[in-house]
Amino acid sequence: MCAMNDRPKTPSRKDAHYARLRRDHRDRKRARGEAGDPASLPEGRVALYGLHTVRAALDNPDRNVHRMLATENALARLEIGDAAALPLPVEIVRPPAIDALTGPDTVHQGVAIEADALKPKTLEDLGDAKLVIVLDQVTDPHNVGALMRSGVAMAADALVTTARHSPAESGVLAKAASGALEHLPIIHARNLANAIGEINNRGFQTIGLDSEGPKPLEDTVAGEKIALVLGAEGKGLREKTRATVSDLARLDMPGAIRSLNVSNAAVLALYVARRHLGAPA
């Protein structure tokens, strides 16, 4: 028989209040794209999902994949042949088992993998790069993922982001990138102004997109190597960033709406820059 002091404590109103706050915090994390419970995975690992995302990850020799969960239908659509020949455990499951890994609201298309996050590159890895995207505190994983997809389509060589105030690698980012996460190296800069200065020193024309830029982008691109610098929606480029880039340029919008989502603006800017540079050798 338990002593009086050992009896289970009945939750108070205060306890219930804080439990509700914790549940709300988890729901907000899922809404921001941090699907699933990060504590359920070992440190340094991510849950990636979706057919294009998983296929690209499996094809990437730099990606260390620990296991895959897939429905029979998704496994057939991946067209990987004999799943038993893959160098990782493959579990044939029903969708709820994948929900448990990725979160209940993700569109995983019946497949997910548990993998190590990719290691960020450094500016030293730019090598012979000709077209680079630089993001000044763009934090939305959907925007960054969509932007990466456009970057790969336009043969960009790297993406430079701030080490802080940028989305970590996640399932939502990878799903929005639709495989581009495996093709576009990411460089994290502790100090973006210093990084832009170093990119300048490497012979790039760094062009900051700004609605008040003195000339349209197509009249500004001139270098043999281009780095396009984009700021977050609403805030735009920070003052230090504006002062560090080689040039400021605008995207002229003749319609009633004069601004674009950052990922859409990036598509136009990348197209202009790629036309100027020509097709990669």
CA 138/CA 159 separation, integer angstroms: 12
R_g of the chain, CA atoms, integer Å: 22
For helices 141-153 and 262-277, the axis angle rounded to 10 degrees is: 20
The one-character DSSP state at 184 is S
CA-based torsion, 15, 21, 22, 23: positive or negative: positive
**Structural domains of the chain in order of their starting residue, each with its CATH number:** 41-116 (3.30.1330), 123-277 (3.40.1280.10)
Higher pLDDT, 115 or 22: 115
Amino acid code (one letter) for 79: E
pLDDT for the residue 31: 39
pLDDT for the residue 227: 98
CA 108/CA 265 separation, integer angstroms: 28
- CB contact at 8 A, 115 and 93: no
pLDDT class for 81, splitting at 50, 70, 90? confident
- Residues 24-53 have pLDDT tens digits of 544 444 434 444 443 378 889 999 999 999
C-alpha distances in angstroms, 141 versus 93, 108, 166? 28, 16, 8
* For residue 14, pLDDT beyond 90: no
- Residues 264-276 have pLDDT tens digits of 999 999 999 999 9
Single pTM value for the model: 0.82
CA-based torsion, 84, 88, 89, 91: positive or negative: negative
